[in-house]
Chains A and B, each alone.
Chain A
Amino acid sequence: MEQMVDDSLEDAFQHRIDAEVKIEPRDWMPERYRASLVRQIAQHAHSEIIGMQPEGNWITRAPSLRRKAILLAKVQDEAGHGLYLYSAAETLGVDREALVDMLQTGRQKYSSIFNYPTLSWADVGSIGWLVDGAAITNQLALTHTSYGPYARAMVKICREESFHQRQGFELLWHLSHGTEAQHEMAQESVNRWWWPSLMMFGPPDHSSPNSEQSMRWGIKRVSNDELRRRFVDMTVPQARALGVLLPDPELRWNESTGHHDFGPINWDEFHRVVGGDGPCNAERLTRRRRAHEEGEWVREAARSWATRHVPARIEAA
């Protein structure tokens, strides 16, 4: 009997999804839908938070005050994105503190791209142009995701992301049209970030086990390979305009498919970095944990104050 009720609920649920009706927090949903959303949104939120580190690494060294202001605002935005996403995850009945704990104990992942180091100033440009560019490709698709709060968070985030990609592009443009040393800095950085950016879309469709169910539930709207293809097609002409080369000898326009062909991605490297053996995995988590631990006495003080004081009310209007 239980089972039958669940089945009919699940049918109704799938029906809603197929009709493009958004699922909202208090709607009935299959437990697996909820769990898989929590996992995906949390992982996305963690990526925004950890993503502050590689770029934050250059805030105090930005080579002009204008660039410093832009970078600071950008990294601040990423903290905001993390918060929008945790907020969306919390509508599913999980608590942010618990999610952050999962991140900090390594039980939930974040995007592997942030396990690569920022070794030169040009990396700030490459991250904005390529990494945010790839993120936008993915996030634009997610504005149509089936869960309302997640879709709304994506809309807000996408609005802010376009500034991120543009500032990265502009930064690199100045480098590649600057002195010889600057041009080299730009090219060297693009060489390092190109392949990891392609990996951001995840494993190829044929070996991506969770994708199919995610697509059926409308959580994922576009497949990994299709997103990757969109990104490459978008980026190639931008690279030409920038005057930098993308480090792939097999990259070329394919008249018959109407898309670019590109060389094989090193999935061994991808799995190694996802598995924890990337250049910065340990550093990123250590730093995150330290900030959290060092903040504990502050949060404790705020909690303690709030139990003994109620700030004077102002009337809502």
Chain B
Amino acid sequence: MTQSSGLPLWEIFVRSRRGMSHIHVGSLHAADWEMAVQNARDLYTRRGEGVSIWAVAATEIHASDPDDKGPLFDPPADKVYRHPTFYEVPEDLKL
């Protein structure tokens, strides 16, 4: 990976409406978190898309290994009851 001579990278999360979760929208560069939030407001909420912004230093994000798919992501086969299709309901009923 290239060593950056630019400003640090920040991952930006925006909550677009009350009642929703923050969603990752992209990243930007800024020297500190205050500038990152300020820039994020201009960049990712220009059309009034956001009511709340998180800026997270990209170096602070720790990810799972995508190839390590076993325990983390495979829906445990023994817990099929978590899925709505597990349940039989009368066909003419909207549920």
Contacts and interface: CB of A to CB of B under 8 A. Distances in A.
Asked if chains A and B are in direct contact (CB within 8 A), the reply is yes
Contacts of B30: 302
Contacts of B88: none
B1 A95 contact: yes
Interface string B54-78: 1000000001011100000000000
Interface in A160-183: 160
Contacts of A83: 26, 28, 43
Contacts of A299: 6-7, 31
A303 B65 contact: no
A26 B54 CA distance: 22
Interface in A211-261: none
Interface residues of B, number: 29
B27 A87 contact: yes
Q: How large is the interface on A (under 10, 10 to 19, 20 to 34, 35 or more residues)?
A: 20 to 34
Given A95-B2, A299-B6, A306-B32, A26 B27 contact: no
Contact of B2 (A88, A94, A316): A94
A90 B9 CA distance: 9
B65 to A, nearest CB: 7
Interface string A76-99: 110010011001101001111110
A128 to B, nearest CB: 18
Contacts of A87: 26-28
A26 B65 contact: yes
A182 B37 CA distance: 44
B5 interface: yes
Contacts of A160: 47
Contacts of A96: 4, 6, 9, 29
Contact of A27 (B27, B28, B31, B66): B66
Contact of A24 (B25, B33, B43, B66): B66
A310 interface: yes
> Which of A87, A88, A93 has most B Cβ within 10 Å?
A87
Nearest to B66: A26
